[in-house]
Structure 1
């Protein structure tokens, strides 16, 4: 037998309770339901009295048998039918309880299943989003790698161009230095300090900037033009005039002392420009 409240097997060593509505309860469920004196069936909620509740001992078989002694077979068959109906009712009640429990458990499982499906859908959606983001980052990474390669190529090209520019500047400096040395050797005498200073002033370094190079060349050309102009003016101031004698000249202005050239045995005179020595060759 099973308790109609907790549906546990009744221990044969314990007593059980049967009420008039044919419901069986174990001792624990009976004490719990009727402890406060409110006698109601825990299953069908029918109001009961103390006479409607019978306490039975499953081990007292002799007292149960004594109650059946002297009963006619006809009445005994009716008792057996009542017992059979009671057992069938208990079986149906237990089966309905199992169906109810199964229905409740099925609802719980369906609710959990829906939760699992919903979570799986959310996880799948998140997975698709992450996959799309990964594809996007992959494309951006490929684009950055391509730009990095192009940038490296530009850096290499810039380094090559810079090296070529440095070589060109160095070659221009060497050529300009050679030109300056040639010009200085032709136009200036290294014996005077004034020409040395003028030579130092006219020397310059080659600048990579083309505009600055042009300005420096123009500046140097202007200085050479000024020097040439000064020399021409000095020649005009000398203003040589012929005398009666052949191949002789007289100076109109202040006479300039004539020096004897140590290299060539011919007279020389000094120009008003102290830094320039002009040889004088008689005609």
Structure 2
């Protein structure tokens, strides 16, 4: 593939995307061509799958526009960098994108051609930035992260039962909670603390906003609701858990406890 043909093919592919023409975008690929976003789901291969993906993209971002800030060419590869922009108008692939959110993402595409058609296009962009701007939970893009702990965490806090605590922690579990003096040491003390918490915050429920895990550490962003001293309360926080042999051995719970303290002051 000569340089002129490479420039022409790359420009035509970019123009088809900016024209929101899913048929033309898919036709730019070889029959075994693949699109892949690093850190974002599985590779998409084949004309029908590619067409469906780009139709979903252009539905979610009807004003999608990509703009190159620079481009470099090799023998059969073009590397383009710039930004893509748009406004979320519909959900994207069932991931929970928030309608009305503006998107402006720095991105680099590495496009490899064969006989004038795309063999692969690999997009590199910061997934955390994408999730922050679209409102998509990072966990939705990486559902295997965190193993089986997150469903259990959600089930526990949907209907808290302190008697279940020994099933999730090691005997020597250590934990620190904001607003509570000293460290919690041992599974029995942790169980007592959870019992005290469920009594203090009547009807407490915790919903996972997002989570991320690596190796034996899990971070969970949450929102909690309940009633304290007859007053409805709502607060956000962060849990960090270390695991050993599948059980929590160390924890840190951080949240704004002023919400609870203010509720306790009512009527005094």
* Bin of the TM-score, shorter chain as denominator length: under 0.3
Larger radius of gyration: 1
Structure with more strand by fraction:
2
TM-score by length of 1: 0.19
Q: Please identify which structure carries the higher helix content.
A: 1
Q: Tell me which of the two structures has the higher relative contact order, counting C-alpha pairs closer than 8 angstroms and 6 or more residues apart.
A: 2
